[in-house]
């Protein structure tokens, strides 16, 4: 008789964004004329840039001609894409990442969720609190945690690294021995970044203890200030202890196209086994490659024109971020992030719970954001807004926040 993977039953409730979607739908049904502005879910709104569209068209033409038709892509990605990534994202920044250490995929979410498969079932994970939920949930599904404790809103057997106003949303080293340390900078949801010195401390710690760092750099393209590391491989020795995830989703608006990649350095050896070989084996067995046309579109992102176009697109989103941040501050709120990341992490007023604030905003000003507690208990009393809305909606949302503050 079949049985289910009972680890799935440890996961509480529904996925955060499903809960938000349901509440907004119910509100919309009850108030059909309500003009709701959605700054909640982290999805982009601007269209693909012209260079990407051109590359897609060209690749589609190739697929329609027997002479240039492509079937299955190479498991690990086409060399034309892996080479340009190695050159532009790594070698140009002084990181010695070679094309054959890059694994092209359909995005960072699946890679972040799947990477745990190559580690032992008894490995202990450390995650930030608040955190992008995929890191924890994928380990819960794999049976690497204990039960969920509703009182503490945490899973037993997981080490949580609090990210607070006091530490600038950059956690201290894990308080107990951890085998896998998940880090994400620029951070979702707090919008915080880590300095090279702070990141080097994590790298040194991992090398000392034999831990592996799983570094999610999905928002790297949003870094605007100098001296903020774009890759963990800017730190000395990171190639022996870190795996890095990247995504084209927020960099170039590929949320609907799907493309990302993971770097597993060949020097990263655990228990005498190169993790590169294990990830290659996993990829080869369970994944048949990102579509040719999408990989050509990804290549176009690195062309001179493509880079210029996506820089302008990102600058547009970051102008939204500035408008939100400064607007909130003017209205008397405390807001973080929004300088090197498309997320603004605002404090709820008067210690209000983040779900009460969600309901208040929906009811009074019809703006949707994401309650911070949905990302972990240290997200309580915070609220995440995204810079991915249209300019018009961003400006209107900020005006509404002003009226809310004024009216109490
Ligand atoms: N990592 C982080 C931190 C994210 O916030 C997201 C998307 O919101 C992802 C990964 C997913 O990226 P992708 O669209 O490439 O799967």
Q: Which residues on adjacent β-strands are paired with residue 127?
A: 160
Residue 404 has pLDDT above 70, yes or no: yes
Nearest CA to ligand 1 atom 5: 188
Residue 405 has pLDDT above 80, yes or no: no
Nearest CA to ligand 1 atom 3: 188
* Candidate from 112, 215, 248 with most ligand 1 atoms within 8 A of CB, to mutate: 112
**Residue 75: pLDDT band by 50, 70, 90 thresholds?**
confident
What pLDDT does residue 408 have? 45
Cα 109 to ligand 1 centre (Å) = 5
DSSP secondary-structure letter at 116? G
Residue-wise pLDDT for 79-134, tens only, equals 999 999 999 999 999 999 999 999 999 999 999 999 999 999 999 999 999 999 99
Token pair for residue 185? 């900078």
From the CB of 138, is ligand 1 less than 6 Å away?
A: no
From the CB of 247, is ligand 1 less than 6 Å away?
A: yes
Point out the ligand 1 atom lying closest to the alpha carbon of residue 248: 15
Chain centre distance of CA 64:
35
Point out the ligand 1 atom lying closest to the alpha carbon of residue 184: 3
From the CB of 367, is ligand 1 less than 6 Å away?
A: no
* Candidate from 103, 192, 218, 219 with most ligand 1 atoms within 8 A of CB, to mutate: 218
Cα 336 to ligand 1 centre (Å) = 20
Task: Give the helix/strand (H/E) hosting 384.
Answer: strand 382-386
- Interval 149-166 mean pLDDT: 96
Residue-wise pLDDT for 164-197, tens only, equals 999 999 999 999 999 999 999 999 999 999 999 9
What pLDDT does residue 232 have? 98
CA–CA distance, 380 with 360 (Å, rounded to integer)? 15
Point out the ligand 1 atom lying closest to the alpha carbon of residue 111: 16
Token pair for residue 216? 């999610």
- Interval 14-39 mean pLDDT: 89
From the CB of 42, is ligand 1 less than 6 Å away?
A: yes
Q: Which residues contact 64 (CB under 8 A, 6 or more apart)?
A: none
∠ CA 345-43-227, nearest 5°, is: 55
What pLDDT does residue 48 have? 98
What pLDDT does residue 17 have? 80
Residue-wise pLDDT for 217-256, tens only, equals 999 999 999 999 999 999 999 999 999 999 999 999 999 9
**Residue 55: pLDDT band by 50, 70, 90 thresholds?**
very high
Q: What string of DSSP letters covers 346-379?
A: EEPGGG--HHHHHHHHHHHT-EE-EEGGGG-GGG
From the CB of 257, is ligand 1 less than 6 Å away?
A: no
Cα 350 to ligand 1 centre (Å) = 32
Residue 169 backbone dihedrals phi, psi, to 5 degrees = 65, 20
From the CB of 189, is ligand 1 less than 6 Å away?
A: no
Share of the chain above pLDDT 90, in %: 94
- Interval 266-292 mean pLDDT: 96
Whether the CB-CB separation of 154 and 143 falls below 8 Å is answered with no
Mapped onto helix, strand or coil, the DSSP state of residue 386 is strand
Residue 406 has pLDDT above 80, yes or no: no
Closest Cα to residue 177, out of 157, 155, 149, 199?
157
What pLDDT does residue 407 have? 44
Point out the ligand 1 atom lying closest to the alpha carbon of residue 42: 8
Q: At what angle do helices 304-330 and 50-63 cross, to 10 degrees?
A: 140
User: Taking the model in full, what pTM does it have?
Assistant: 0.96
Whether the CB-CB separation of 191 and 163 falls below 8 Å is answered with no
Task: Give the helix/strand (H/E) hosting 37.
Answer: strand 37-38
């Amino acid at each position: 008789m079949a049985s289910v993977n009972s680890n799935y039953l440890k996961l509480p409730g529904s996925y955060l964004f499903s809960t938000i979607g349901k509440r907004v739908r119910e509100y919309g049904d009850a108030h059909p004329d309500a003009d709701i502005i959605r700054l909640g879910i982290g999805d982009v709104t601007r269209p693909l840039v012209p260079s990407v569209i051109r590359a897609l068209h060209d690749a589609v033409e190739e697929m329609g001609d027997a002479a240039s038709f492509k079937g299955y892509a190479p498991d690990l990605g086409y060399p034309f894409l892996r080479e340009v990534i190695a050159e532009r994202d790594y070698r140009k920044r002084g990181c010695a990442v070679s094309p054959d250490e890059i694994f092209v995929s359909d995005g960072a979410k699946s890679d972040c969720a799947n990477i745990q498969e190559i580690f032992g079932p008894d490995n202990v994970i450390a995650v930030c609190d608040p955190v992008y939920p995929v890191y924890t949930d994928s380990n819960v599904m794999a049976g690497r945690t204990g039960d969920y404790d509703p009182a503490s809103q945490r899973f037993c057997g997981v080490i949580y690294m609090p990210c607070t106003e006091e530490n600038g949303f950059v956690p201290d080293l894990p308080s107990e021995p951890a085998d896998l340390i998940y880090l994400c900078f620029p951070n979702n949801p707090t919008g915080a970044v880590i300095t090279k010195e702070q990141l080097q401390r994590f790298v040194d710690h991992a090398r000392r203890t034999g831990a592996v760092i799983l570094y999610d750099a999905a928002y790297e393209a949003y870094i605007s200030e100098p001296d903020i590391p774009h890759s963990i491989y800017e730190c000395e020795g990171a190639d022996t202890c870190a795996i890095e995830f990247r995504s084209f989703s927020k960099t170039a608006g590929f949320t609907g196209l799907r493309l990302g990649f993971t770097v597993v350095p060949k020097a990263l050896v655990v228990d005498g086994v190169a993790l590169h070989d294990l990830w290659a084996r996993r990829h080869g067995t369970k994944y048949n490659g990102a579509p040719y046309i999408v990989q050509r579109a990804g290549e176009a992102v690195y062309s001179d024109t493509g880079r210029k176009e996506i820089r302008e697109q990102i600058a547009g989103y970051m102008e939204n971020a500035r408008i939100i941040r400064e607007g909130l501050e003017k209205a008397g709120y405390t807001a973080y992030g929004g300088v090197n990341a498309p997320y603004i992490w605002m404090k709820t007023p008067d210690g209000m719970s983040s779900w009460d604030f969600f309901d208040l905003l929906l009811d009074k000003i019809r703006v949707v954001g994401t309650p911070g507690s949905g990302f972990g208990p240290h997200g309580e009393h915070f609220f995440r807004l995204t810079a991915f809305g249209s300019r018009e909606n961003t400006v209107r949302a900020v005006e509404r926040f002003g009226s809310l503050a004024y009216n109490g």
